[in-house]
Amino acid sequence: MQNIFFLIISLALATSSIAQKQSKKDRREQNRKKIDAMIKQEEEGVIAYKKHIVFGGKLISNGYGAFIEFGRASSVKKGMLFQLEISEYKSPREE
């Protein structure tokens, strides 16, 4: 009885370890297909993101400024964009 139980347990472990190797290959193949599809969509112009935030600053010869941009894509052709830019320029006549 113990030999049969040991045989069943060992077969179960052996088949599960073989199955894990195949699923790892399958997962890699699925990831490759997903990445290839995303690259293809990007080349065709399909937006790969739903929202983005960009911020920064700028220094120029006669002033400085800062900006921030919020964007949200509801579909490929529709989106919403908010921009805020604050800048200060010095006039050469002020001096």
Q: pLDDT tens across 57-86, in order?
A: 999 988 999 999 999 988 777 889 999 999
Domain count across the chain? 2
List Cα–Cα distances, 55 to 25, 69, 87, 89, in angstroms. 41, 6, 14, 20
**64 and 34 both lie in a single domain:** no
Does 95 fall in a domain? no
pLDDT score of 18: 57
Residues 34 and 55 placed together within one structural domain of the fold: no
Tally of CA atoms within 13 A in the half-sphere of 2 that contains its CB = 0
Q: Does residue 1 sit in the same domain as residue 42? A: yes
Whole-model pTM: value is: 0.46
Residue 94 lies in a domain: no
Q: What is the pLDDT of residues 8-38, one digit of tens each?
A: 888 777 765 555 556 778 888 999 999 898 8
Amino acid at 9: I
**Does position 47 have pLDDT exceeding 70, yes or no?**
no
